[in-house]
Structure 1
Amino acid sequence: MISTTRRLFKPVDIAPLVVFRILFGFLLFAETFGAILTGWVQRNLVKPSFTFSHIGFEWLQPFPGMGMYFYFGLMAVLGICIMVGFRYRFSLGLFTLLWAGAYLMQKESYNNHYYLLLLVCLIMLLLPANGYASVDTRRNPHIKRLSMPYWCSLLMIVQISIVYFFATVSKFYPGWINGDFIRIVLSGKTHYPIVGQFFDKHWFHLFISWTGIFFDGSIVLLLLFRRTRTIALILSLIFHLFNSMVLQIGIFPFFALSFVLFFYPSDVIRKRFFPKKLPIISDTPDYFGKDLLKWIVLPYVLIQLLLPIRHWFIKGDVLWTEEGHRLSWRMMLRQRNGFAQFEVVDVKTGQTHIYPLSKLDQKQVDFATSKPDGIWQMCQRIKSEYNQKGKDVKIFVKARVSINSGPYLEFIDPKIDMAQASWNYFGHADWILLYDDQGKRISR
């Protein structure tokens, strides 16, 4: 126990954390300002009349008019402040709050790296990332630090290891192993130079599928050992640059690459990026954050280990039900397609009609007809709309869903009044129909 404690609080050079802060701040700026420039804000937060917020946060809706442009513009400015270390805690704290709001505000464009950004913001709030090469240290030299306890680097390694581990485990299902999903992803992209000619070849789909498993499953181990670290860095560059070019997933490939900093010896990072910085000369344990480690960091890591396995304890296949899918690092695994009819029955008169989805844009229609939470939330919106008119209604849904271009199967029990159905946060919702491996309905 004593040796473990000494190891956790062993002083190491602060350089990796400082370089990461600079890169992280720039990526936050690029993500938020880029969301404005590319039209993402306009398409997802300005144009729609409402958004599907995370369940429990339906009250959280985009600001009207130009509000969301200013919202993301402020986050872009805060990203620059984080990068240069100007009022670091305030800037990062406010950014984290604003990013959490943007994250919870809409699910139609859900992306795992939005969640990872939020987690890393929370982690970085705990770490002394402004202790060197920052505006804050120029304004207040007393906060300057040459070192940090080793647990600061270890926490970042653990976080990215969790991401890669569960990303690997989730890929062991037929649709990934046989290349079906990769085939769908690469469909229509044969125009890419050099590699594009292979995008419609089955052997290439299998190559990419198994390469993805190998990379996610081995990259952390390869980075941990000195002899394989440079090879791992080269593999990371190839893998993430390919993903950036073909999948066009924003800053995530570069964000993932930035974690490599914590796998190299801190003195190596110091010599590469801060050659004039004085090395640390003391082996005296640095007990910065001792209480944080015990009461916040360790529970945080435990939660991160539990969230991705919760779907194993929920009835049904998560690939079909989506229950326990989010916050589990199940990244780029499936394509869901669906269609649904929302039959509204006036309880008093018995009149029935199909609710039109004309108020929704195409992305919202896709979400509200193929995802269980989207279908449930759509039903609650319909119910609320009629209740405001003084009408009590029943809602029955006829929905069919296809996974990875497979057969369309009935998804929602058409006999259940979805206006009265509840959302199950921790288990299986009985209004989602289940099937066995042969596609036969499983009776409840």
Structure 2
Amino acid sequence: MVSNLLFSKIDNSQIIVFRIFFGLLMAVECWGSIGTGWVKETFVDPDFTFSFIGFEWTWFMLGDFMYYFYGFLGVLGIMIMLGAFYRVSTILFALGWSLVYFMQKEHYNNHYYLVMLVAWFMVFIPANRYKAVDVWFWPKIRSKTTYFWNQLLFILQLLIVYTYAAIAKLYPGWMNGDFLMTRYRDVAYWADQYIAWEPLTEYIQTREFAQIISWLGFGFDLLIVPLLLWKPTRLIAFLGALVFHIFNSVTLHIGIFPYFALALAVFCFPPETIRQIFFPRKSTFLAGSGEFQARHPHQISFTLFFCAYILWQIYLPLRHWQIPGDVLWTEEGHRLSWRMMLRTKSASTQFYLVEKGSDKRERIQLKDYLTDLQSSRVKARPDMIWQFAQYVKKQKAKEGKDVEIYVSSRVSINGGPYHPFIDDKIDIAAENWRYFGHQRWILPEPTDYNKLEKVRP
């Protein structure tokens, strides 16, 4: 029975090791975000943020307060690492990280989404029963075992993440190297400055190099979790993952994710292997040794919740098939779907304001409302275009003006030609947002992103 399998006992070394890595990485991420100016750019400088729709109420937190907020999250990370007041620390961190995640989309990143999910996993996983400050205070909680679902949850989540990341790459712009050619231009410049070996810098800029890395990336995402789980290939797969993630960290500058992914790999090893590596003095747990096991009182209800969560995670990346249009173009169903590092978008977008009762069309200057980062993001993302139109309309309403807002936009995918993107005859400010459907003011995608088509009548 599934519930009996989920609640079978295993050694808890994996969750202890991961707790330490997770807490440390979160502290580095939060404090690093302050030190690098990320918090300033994202939460201090703007007058408002492009939050997830429905989270506009979080704007009251913007400003210098966010320095303290991120500093506090970093402290919570250290407390989680040490296993100190673990339950309170994990709950506060999960709530805090979720809040800042939903507060902004200018820096939207699937990695932040994964951190949020894992942060909530940690709330329910007893990772403070060994090598933790809490054990000093409450010795009775000390344990060398945990339930199998603690390991399986991470494995299934990793499998979902990497499998959908691979599936999303099955489109021409990735497989033919268009996307990575645009990304590796900066890498080639760096190599030219610091290595100065012309054959290397020239090769990095070629389509052949981009295609090789594109296919390797697809193969890695598709196979890495199964290869880590299979004993004959586990060590080779881990070494490959180490090289792959360090390479991505150096060339693509994607923050803590490479190290976070490597930390999650501990769940693909047998618990006893992790115990022998990290806690050699810890006594061995033998399945069937008498600790195996009384039936958990909430076993059935938890099993149903566990299965429902996994099914929900499987559904979310598929939901864009229910919405008309190519998700690569419309972005409807893009978020929360593990569509990672797939494309670059550039756009030429203008917003126009028309005061009702007047025929005069006035161009909106983005710099009057947005930071440089926000200005670059809003031009190519439909939900941000809609949110900005709503924001400007509300600001003008405070001045006693009732306005309409129209958008003229053309978008390029992966460095291709620009195609018409938004219907400039529709007042975007008057439109309601369709949470689970298609926005009628997004024009249909071109048949070929790399070919310029005739303008639609």
- Between the aligned partners of 1:404 and 1:257, the Cα distance in structure 2 is 29
Q: How does 1:158-173 map to 2 (within 5 A)?
A: 158-173=156-171
- Between the aligned partners of 1:414 and 1:133, the Cα distance in structure 2 is 61
Match in the other structure for 2:34: 36
| 2:194 is the alignment partner of 1:203 | no
Match in the other structure for 1:272: 277
**SS, match of residue 341 in structure 1:** strand
Report the alpha carbon displacement of residue 173 of structure 1 after superposing the two structures with TM: 0.3
The answer as to whether partners of 1:237 and 1:257 remain within 8 angstroms in 2 is yes
Comparing 429-438 with 412-421, which one deviates more in the overlay? 429-438
**SS, match of residue 188 in structure 1:** helix
| 2:335 is the alignment partner of 1:326 | yes
- Find 2:55's aligned residue among 51, 54, 57: 57
Q: How does 1:30-429 map to 2 (within 5 A)?
A: 30-61=28-59, 63=61, 65-190=63-188, 191-192=190-191, 193=195, 196=201, 198-283=203-288, 284-285=292-293, 287=295, 290=299, 293-358=302-367, 359-429=369-439
Q: Which amino acid aligns with 2:9?
A: P
User: Aligned pair in 2 of structure 1 residues 41, 286: CA closer, same or farther (>3 Å)?
Assistant: farther
The answer as to whether partners of 2:420 and 2:455 remain within 8 angstroms in 1 is no
Q: How does 1:426-437 map to 2 (within 5 A)?
A: 426-437=436-447
Q: TM-score, normalised by structure 2?
A: 0.93
- Between the aligned partners of 1:75 and 1:245, the Cα distance in structure 2 is 26
Comparing 74-83 with 4-13, which one deviates more in the overlay? 4-13
Aligned length: 442
User: Aligned pair in 2 of structure 1 residues 404, 287: CA closer, same or farther (>3 Å)?
Assistant: farther
Report the alpha carbon displacement of residue 220 of structure 1 after superposing the two structures with TM: 0.9
**SS, match of residue 255 in structure 2:** coil
- Between the aligned partners of 1:442 and 1:269, the Cα distance in structure 2 is 60
- Between the aligned partners of 1:161 and 1:312, the Cα distance in structure 2 is 21
RMSD: 1.9
User: Aligned pair in 2 of structure 1 residues 364, 156: CA closer, same or farther (>3 Å)?
Assistant: same
Q: Which runs of 5+ in 2 are unaligned?
A: none
Q: Which amino acid aligns with 2:387?
A: Q
Report the alpha carbon displacement of residue 268 of structure 1 after superposing the two structures with TM: 1.0
Comparing 50-59 with 209-218, which one deviates more in the overlay? 50-59
**SS, match of residue 187 in structure 1:** helix
Q: Which amino acid aligns with 2:403?
A: V
Q: Which runs of 5+ in 1 are unaligned?
A: none
- Between the aligned partners of 2:454 and 2:146, the Cα distance in structure 1 is 57
Report the alpha carbon displacement of residue 7 of structure 1 after superposing the two structures with TM: 2.8
Q: Which amino acid aligns with 1:93?
A: I
- Between the aligned partners of 1:346 and 1:156, the Cα distance in structure 2 is 54
Q: TM-score, normalised by structure 1?
A: 0.95
**SS, match of residue 186 in structure 2:** coil
Could you report, residue by residue, the CA deviation over 1:263-322 in whole angstroms, capped at 9, with x for unpaired residues?
111111111111111222452136556256324322211111111000111100000000
- Between the aligned partners of 1:201 and 1:323, the Cα distance in structure 2 is 32
- Between the aligned partners of 1:136 and 1:188, the Cα distance in structure 2 is 47
Comparing 136-145 with 231-240, which one deviates more in the overlay? 136-145
Could you report, residue by residue, the CA deviation over 1:210-246 in whole angstroms, capped at 9, with x for unpaired residues?
0001100010110111000001001100100000111
Between the aligned residues of both structures, percent identity stands at: 45
Q: Which amino acid aligns with 1:120?
A: V
